[in-house]
Amino acid sequence: MLESLQYIYAPQIVNGLSIGVAVVLMALGLTIIFGLLDVINMSHGEFYAAGAFISVSLMAMGVSFWLCLLLVPLFLIPIGFAMERLLIQKVFHYKDRHILTLLLTFGVAMVLEDGYKIIWGANPIKPSAPISGASELLGVMFPNYRLFLMGFGALIIFSVWALIYKTQLGAIVRASAYDKDMSSSLGIPVKRVYALTFAFGVALAGIAGVLLAPIYSVFPTMGRDFILMAFSVVIVGGLGSIKGAVIAGILLTQLQSISSLFISPVWSDPLVFTVMVLVLMFKPTGLYGGMKNA
Amino acid sequence: MSNSEIILKARSLSKRFGGLKAVDDVSFEVTRLGVTSIIGPNGAGKSTLFNLLSGTFMADSGLVELDGQNVTRMSPEGRLSSGMARSFQITNLFFDLTVIENLRIASQALEPHSNLFFPLSKSTVAIDRANELLTEFGLLESRNQLAGALSHGQQRRLEIAVTLATRPKLLLLDEPTQGMSQGDTQDTAELIKRLGSKITVLLIEHDVDLVMDLSKIVIVMAQGKKLAEGIPSEVRANPLVQTAYFGEELA
Amino acid sequence: MHNPQAKAIRLIEILLLVSAVALFVIGSILGDTFFLRLATESLIFGGLAMSVDLLLGIVGLLSLGQALYFGFGAYLSALVLKEISPSFFLAIGVVTLSSIALGWVASFVALRSKGVYFALITFGLAQVVAKVVYNTRSLGASDGMMGVPILQIWTPFGIVDAGQPGIFFVITMITIGALYAVLKYFLTTPMGSIWHAIRSNEDRLAYVGYKSKGPKQVAFILAAVVAAVSGALYPMLRGFVSPELMFFSVSGNAVVTVVLGGVGTLIGPILGSVLLTSFKSIIGTWTVHHHIVIGLIFVVVVVSAPKGIAGLLAKYFGKAHSGKGGE
């Protein structure tokens, strides 16, 4: 009993957690963008892939992995900013902007995905992990990179939370989400806040891409596979809720990795989606409300 | 007063939002025909009361009776088929449909529901009703315009026309002159007066002079409670009302 | 006809019918296979797009998982044709009835939510089923099912060979045309008006006497049937089905098709499908990267002409009309 806990469950839980923090990073971006702009960013997975691809190219030029973690968001922020200003804002005034922005970002996803194929080719690239080796914890060996991933991811998640709930900047963002007109009459540059928030959200996806590149391979459709999980997390947690994204992200990735001990891993995806559908059916707004009230 | 004289009865209606008692133990009766009005300062609970009467919200406690029928737990569409229709303070139309489509959808409910899957022929009750309202409300010219493209005054008129489409016995009007010009307000007042000669109108209105002019009975609310009720001259003379409501206006 | 949108719809209908007849005649004379089969495929996916448009353009519900019903129809049709009897009418009948049942059951899940939640729940629902099919060995798992027999179809003009591209093109045209006619009929009924009202302002509906739930359910089931029957034609054309038919790319493509052709017109999506399919096969000859081009076109359409081709035509007719009025 104890042995199985130690040798079978513990590694699986840690594996799940390291994927989990990356999923939470993705989901945080999605949920922040939705919470403020009411936009479902269908291209979020492609920004995750962008992070991975850019880091692959930078590392090929000799840039260190650690610098990539800093440079990739710096690359993605202007791209996200421009996308919000030049595309999303164009359809923002329509009554059915929920649907139009969803369609728009879906179109961007198509373009980006095919763009990656043209630039980097369709074959998977596998960068080597920047930290090798494994450490012993409670008699079980854990890969060092996964331990780093968990710690670093948790740090970013905490910083995002602190940024939004503990700083003046976060208060501005939350005020804009709460009442756009009121905020703009208070002198908050709401449009710039929107664009920056979008950029910030996709940059988080990019960081997730850099972090997961050494674990999964890097290939053009990688975002498409991963986005399903991120959407499930955001829905289960409650669209717009940061707390919800963190809790649901950990729960769902744990469900996925622990269930794969008992059932074939191919069934763990349907399991996660079933949970999502059930949550949507019985608690359509997810476990926690939006950024406005949580 | 015989029972059939009373078309709407509210008994001890209450509704809370969190800690706030938006409507607190309100009772009143509305007699058939003419205009009965509810007035009160902002936040007095008029709109919430209206929502309880029309089924937008369900009351926490109390009773709503429409023509002797208990409708307290009934959905808005159920109340509509029992003869109660309402308009909205903020224009609430099918904005991307044309004027005639707005009216036709509203009057469709006059037809038996089994006809939902068969096209309406040219001269049915519903289409006749829609055309009648077009003329009555001076919207004939703009019948094929989108509701969203109408002027504010036209939209307010269409809002009332849509509520009348099902030939209700009792019409609840929520600040019908909201945002209207002086001229439009006068026209609307005339219209409400005319309506009151045929059906029962329950009106929420901000414009006190208008209310005093139109109504047979005025109900005054403040802080969720009913403060006073009576014919306009009585209400105007009531010292409680003067401090709570007219006092506020003077200040 | 004073309504510019109705004019645009009529023009597209005529245009499509004329080109279909022309293609059939010329194709049959020249003994063409490629274009007739391509046109058939575009009509089949046009049917799927039409079902997306019923939900999106008429009722205002964005389904991101309509491929679920399309794939369901395709698999069920393949099973009936392979295992029971190679009969066109049996396959269509079974698919129609089963998709009513499936749509009815799924509607209870999907219609609990609105707006973006509806989009995401339909997405999730389709994804679950697609993964299950992908992993079910008795349905051929990732390989799908092959060897669907070529049909001999009874018609009032005698038994025809659906293996002939021209013949099956006509059969597909009639089937999709019939689905279109059914949907158009619904739009003339009070039910159709209620759908429009739901899209326009669902909350107001209760105050003109209707619940929105029932009418939404009818539309949802109808959309499932349209998608499934379109899907049922797929194995008859291609001789196989694969789990890719249920994937998100198929649902997503259908949404792109609808927006391109003209949302809310039902016929626009058919035109969109014809254009997109032709476009893919044309640029497919010189590059495999057609997605980037289609994606760019799509983005431009959403930003600058969210009502698609039909919307542009309607705008043109509207201007022409008001221009005349001004003289």
Assembly ipTM: 0.85
Distance from CA of B204 to the nearest CA of C (A): 17
Please judge whether A87 and C296 are an interchain contact, meaning their C-beta atoms are less than 8 angstroms apart.
no
Q: In chain B, which residue ranges form alpha helices assigned H by DSSP?
A: 46-54, 76-81, 99-108, 125-136, 152-164, 182-196, 208-214, 232-237, 239-241, 247-250
Please judge whether C291 and A273 are an interchain contact, meaning their C-beta atoms are less than 8 angstroms apart.
no
Residue C215 has pLDDT above 90, yes or no: yes
Average pLDDT over residues B199-225: 84
Instruction: With beta carbons under 8 A apart, name residues in chain B contacting C207.
Output: 54, 76-77, 80, 85-86, 88, 92, 163
Residue A209 has pLDDT above 90, yes or no: yes
Q: Given pLDDT bands bounded at 50, 70 and 90, which one contains residue B113?
A: low
pLDDT computed for residue C141 by the predictor: 83
Q: Distance between the two ends of chain A, CA-based, in angstroms?
A: 40
Greatest CA separation for chain C: 69
Distance from CA of C185 to the nearest CA of B (A): 8
pLDDT computed for residue A294 by the predictor: 36
Residue B183 has pLDDT above 90, yes or no: no
**How far is the C-alpha of C55 from the C-alpha of C63, rounded, in Å?**
7
Residue C178 has pLDDT above 90, yes or no: yes
Please judge whether C292 and A90 are an interchain contact, meaning their C-beta atoms are less than 8 angstroms apart.
no
Q: Is A263 on the interface with C (CB under 8 A)?
A: no
pLDDT computed for residue C102 by the predictor: 97
pLDDT computed for residue C2 by the predictor: 62
| Residue-wise pLDDT tens digits, A122-181 | 888 888 878 877 887 777 777 888 888 888 989 999 998 888 888 888 888 888 777 777
Q: Given pLDDT bands bounded at 50, 70 and 90, which one contains residue A54?
A: very high
Q: Which residues pair with B11 in a beta bridge?
A: B63
**SS3 (DSSP) at B48:** helix
Provide the 10 A C-beta neighbour count for residue B182: 7
Token digits of residue C133: 């099919």
pLDDT averaged over chain A? 85
pLDDT computed for residue C68 by the predictor: 96
Tell me the residues of chain C between 286 and 305 that have a Cβ less than 8 Å away from chain A.
289-292, 294-296, 298-299, 302-304
C158: left (phi over 0), alpha (psi -120 to 50) or beta: left
Give the closest residue to A210 by CA, choosing from A34, A26, A1, A11. Answer: A26
Residue C262 has pLDDT above 60, yes or no: yes
**How far is the C-alpha of A264 from the C-alpha of A261, rounded, in Å?**
8
Average pLDDT over residues A57-84: 92
Q: In A8-143, which residue ranges form alpha helices assigned H by DSSP?
A: 10-37, 44-60, 65-86, 97-120
Q: Is C105 on the interface with A (CB under 8 A)?
A: no
Q: Given pLDDT bands bounded at 50, 70 and 90, which one contains residue B5?
A: confident
B17-21, C55-59, C169-173, C263-267 — which is least confidently predicted? B17-21
pLDDT averaged over chain C? 89
Q: Given pLDDT bands bounded at 50, 70 and 90, which one contains residue B114?
A: low
Q: Given pLDDT bands bounded at 50, 70 and 90, which one contains residue A228?
A: confident
Average pLDDT over residues C126-149: 86
Instruction: Select the residue of C127, C299, C304 nearest A107 (Cβ to Cβ).
Output: C299
Instruction: With beta carbons under 8 A apart, name residues in chain A contacting C295.
Output: 107-111, 114
| C115-134 vs A268-282: helix crossing angle, rounded to 10 | 150
Please judge whether A99 and C134 are an interchain contact, meaning their C-beta atoms are less than 8 angstroms apart.
no
pLDDT computed for residue A293 by the predictor: 40
B102-111, C82-91, C98-107 — which is least confidently predicted? B102-111
Residue A239 has pLDDT above 50, yes or no: yes
Q: Given pLDDT bands bounded at 50, 70 and 90, which one contains residue A289?
A: low
Greatest CA separation for chain A: 63
The values of phi and psi at residue A214, to 5°, are: -70, -15
Residue B249 has pLDDT above 60, yes or no: no
Instruction: With beta carbons under 8 A apart, name residues in chain C contacting B58.
Output: none
A243-247, B16-20, B173-177, C8-12 — which is least confidently predicted? B16-20
More confident residue, B214 or C97: C97
Q: Given pLDDT bands bounded at 50, 70 and 90, which one contains residue B121?
A: low
- Residues in CB range of A256: below 8 A, 6 or more apart: A16, A229, A268, A269, A271, A272
Q: Are C67 and C246 in contact (CB under 8 A)?
A: yes
Residue B237 has pLDDT above 90, yes or no: no
Residue A92 has pLDDT above 90, yes or no: no
Instruction: With beta carbons under 8 A apart, name residues in chain C contacting A274.
Output: 128
Token digits of residue C29: 């004379």
**How far is the C-alpha of B194 from the C-alpha of B124, rounded, in Å?**
26
| Smallest CA–CA distance from B108 into chain C, residue | C190
pLDDT computed for residue A133 by the predictor: 79
Determine the residue type at C37.
Answer: R
Q: Given pLDDT bands bounded at 50, 70 and 90, which one contains residue C326?
A: very low
How much of chain B, in percent, has pLDDT values that exceed 70?
92
Determine the residue type at A246.
Answer: V
Instruction: With beta carbons under 8 A apart, name residues in chain B contacting C194.
Output: 105, 108, 116
How much of chain C, in percent, has pLDDT values that exceed 70?
97
pLDDT computed for residue B112 by the predictor: 65
**How far is the C-alpha of A161 from the C-alpha of B3, rounded, in Å?**
62
Q: Given pLDDT bands bounded at 50, 70 and 90, which one contains residue C321?
A: low
Token digits of residue C48: 């799927």
pLDDT averaged over chain B? 82
